[in-house]
């Protein structure tokens, strides 16, 4: 079955190895375009169909020609970030999860 993936975690998808991949350089959650932007969504799906047809070998990656919202230039540093400010809190969260599972805390 010919397939193409539309996604935003380029490193994860390419590490896995897939036949065809359209990379949307957006925060995780909206691979097919900005919310409510029907023109962009149509363009990205059209690109995926184009890659379905034009790719000649596995591990074909094409980047969708769109950026995330200009009013949020800091988005790249946000997801699962670890900072000096949140490190202790993250360990506390992990310890709470371990306690709930009957495991010993690390902190």
Q: How far is the CB of 71 from other proteins (least distance, A)?
A: 11
Residue the block writes with tokens 């990205």: 44
Q: Does 32 bind other proteins (CB under 8 A)?
A: yes
> Vertex 2, ends 61 and 18: CA angle to 5°?
35
Q: Which of 62, 71, 85, 93 binds other proteins (CB under 8 A)?
A: 93
Q: Is 102 or 105 the residue whose CB approaches other proteins more closely?
A: 105
Region of 61 please: left (phi>0), alpha (psi -120 to 50) or beta: beta
Q: Does 101 bind other proteins (CB under 8 A)?
A: no
- List binders of other proteins among 2-21 (CB under 8 A): 2-13, 15-19
Decide: 62 and 23 in contact? Cβ < 8 Å. Answer: yes
């Amino acid at each position: 079955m010919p397939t193409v993936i539309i996604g935003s975690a380029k490193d994860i998808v390419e590490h896995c190895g897939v036949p065809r991949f359209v990379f949307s350089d957006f925060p995780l959650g909206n691979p097919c375009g900005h919310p409510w932007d029907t023109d962009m969504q149509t363009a990205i799906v059209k690109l995926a169909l184009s890659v379905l047809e034009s790719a000649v070998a596995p591990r074909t990656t094409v980047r969708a020609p769109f950026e995330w919202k200009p009013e949020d230039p800091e988005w790249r540093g946000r997801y699962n970030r670890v900072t000096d400010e949140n490190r202790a809190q993250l360990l506390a969260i992990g310890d709470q999860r371990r306690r709930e599972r009957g495991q010993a805390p690390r902190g």
